[in-house]
Structure 1
Amino acid sequence: MLTKISDTLFRGHGPIKILYPGLAVSKTDTGIGSIGRIDHPEIHGNTIIKMHPHVNDEILSYFRSGRAEHKDSEGFEKTIGKNTLMLMKAGKMFYHEEQIIGEGEPLEGLQIFIRPGKKDLKPEVIFRELEEVHSENEWRLLGSPTAETNFQFSSQTWLYDTKLLKDATIELPKLEREGLTYLLYVFNGILKVNEDIVLKKKEGLIIKDELIDIKADVDSELVLFITDENGEIFKGGMYSGNQQYFS
């Protein structure tokens, strides 16, 4: 099964556009398995997102341009940007603040809200330094349920990215499991999937039990989510949980 996610599915009128991917396929759940919500901010100029709480969310900050100064209730302070990613595991209660540094390029990226495997886990903040900003024409594993990366989700969730250069092709990564659901997201660029599905920036494709070929019409930045919809998750997170938002 292939289901296209159009950019018209995004919510919000400000600099942060919000995608509830489940709205593309469900009338009862705003998420897909452990993938609760995807925010795509494009923020110009100095901005402060004041200290605010998260409860039972696992939030990965994946910025591709710009920088932000992060502070949180666990005592961490760090500048994050295209070479420094951050995973906040909110658990029972967690507060953080972001000050967007408006000098130079705007802040653009994703804030990815993953549903935890269990309720009220211990809060934790993890940073990852990337040797290269992009992984060209190869999938790079950013997070998984196991210790193969330092971004370890508590649910059955995998996260990859790649920069697919013009006319290059790529297949989905092969995991030694069956019955997984894939969500391909175009952060930037234009793709053709199986030669007949066109995806542009802020569009995606939900993939179940299908083999696909992906080709870049232009240099394109891709993010790939994989979830086991039968895995254990907690759907009551403040932002990642089911929002009962249907129209």
Structure 2
Amino acid sequence: MIKKIENDKKVGNAHIKILYPGSVIENSTDSGLGSIGRIDHANIGGNVTIKMHPHINDDILSYFRSGHAVHTDSEGFQATVSRNKLMLMKSGKLFYHEETMPEPLEGLQIFIRPKSKDLKPEVVFQDLNETDSVDSWRLLASPKEQTQLQFSSETWIYDTKLTNGKTIELPDLPKNELTGLLYVFQGNVVLNNDINLLKGESILFKNEQIEINALETSELVLFITDENSEYYDDGMYSGNKH
């Protein structure tokens, strides 16, 4: 199964485009895709503050590619998130935070469903050794100890910067019968010499061999989920919206 998601399948506003990956699946009653609740593509001007606000039962990965944001939370902790520093905020039962963006920022806010409700809140940061993973997949977050950023649900996130003219296949996945979403953050690629994807477009796939060719240097994010595993689909933002 391969299904393309066009740019116009997103909702939101001029600054944040929201992708509910399950909304394009025929006869689906779930706005998410397994443990992948929703993906926000943010493009925000500078001098913006999103005031202190709550999250409940969402695991949120901040993946910024330009600009930075200053995170402040209800525990009194403050840190700067940027293209070289990722943040995974596991809100659990209840967590408050605020974001200040002093300069223009573009990136993804990725809402992942936790394994179960009302887990203990936690915020984890990851400094990246390299800003880009050029022409190879980099595992950013997983449910296992192989990454510093760990989800409670069976979810994996990879990225790569595929240079113009290069070809890449999917990484070796951790187990069989997994479902994926490939998202083009920047660029222009062709899949299996057939499907063209531009910035903001994506595909859903399951049980497919996929070869990706870059028509220009492109930034790709790969989401993998086990739809048969346990996850809580009533989070504040990651929850089912149907």
TM bracket, shorter-chain basis:
over 0.9
Deviations 1:177-224 (A, max 9, x none): 111001000000000000010000000011111101100000000000
Matched position secondary structure for 2:150: coil
Report the counterpart of residue 25 of structure 1 in structure 2.
25
Report the counterpart of residue 194 of structure 1 in structure 2.
192
Q: Distance in 1 between matches of 2:36 and 2:75?
A: 25
Report the counterpart of residue 241 of structure 1 in structure 2.
239
Report the counterpart of residue 14 of structure 2 in structure 1.
14
From 151, 154, 170, give the equivalent of 1:153. Answer: 151
Q: Distance in 2 between matches of 1:240 and 1:176?
A: 23
Deviation at 1:12, TM superposition (A): 1.3
Percent identity (aligned): 60
Q: Distance in 1 between matches of 2:174 and 2:231?
A: 21
Report the counterpart of residue 223 of structure 1 in structure 2.
221
Q: Distance in 1 between matches of 2:24 and 2:190?
A: 20
Report the counterpart of residue 171 of structure 1 in structure 2.
169
- Please give the TM-score of this superposition, normalised by the length of structure 2: 0.98
Following superposition, which runs of at least 4 residues in structure 1 exceed 6 angstroms of deviation? none
Deviation at 1:131, TM superposition (A): 1.2
Q: Distance in 2 between matches of 1:74 and 1:234?
A: 25
Report the counterpart of residue 92 of structure 1 in structure 2.
93
1:141 aligns with 2:142: no
Matched position secondary structure for 1:71: strand
Matched position secondary structure for 1:189: strand
Deviation at 1:175, TM superposition (A): 2.1
Deviation at 1:176, TM superposition (A): 4.1
How many aligned residue pairs are there? 241
Deviation at 1:14, TM superposition (A): 2.8
Deviation at 1:159, TM superposition (A): 0.3
Deviations 1:98-147 (A, max 9, x none): 00112xxx200000000000110000000000111100000000000101
- Please give the TM-score of this superposition, normalised by the length of structure 1: 0.96
Q: Distance in 2 between matches of 1:154 and 1:125?
A: 13
> What letter is aligned with 1:148?
Q
Deviation at 1:47, TM superposition (A): 0.3
What does residue range 69-148 of structure 1 map to in structure 2 within 5 Å? 69-102=70-103, 106-148=104-146
Which runs of 5 or more structure 1 residues have no equivalent in the other structure?
none
Q: Distance in 2 between matches of 1:192 and 1:151?
A: 30
Q: Distance in 1 between matches of 2:174 and 2:200?
A: 29
Deviations 1:9-32 (A, max 9, x none): 110123011110111115310000
Greater strand fraction, Structure 1 or Structure 2: 2
Which runs of 5 or more structure 2 residues have no equivalent in the other structure?
none
1:37 aligns with 2:35: no
CA RMSD of aligned residues (A): 0.8
> What letter is aligned with 1:187?
F
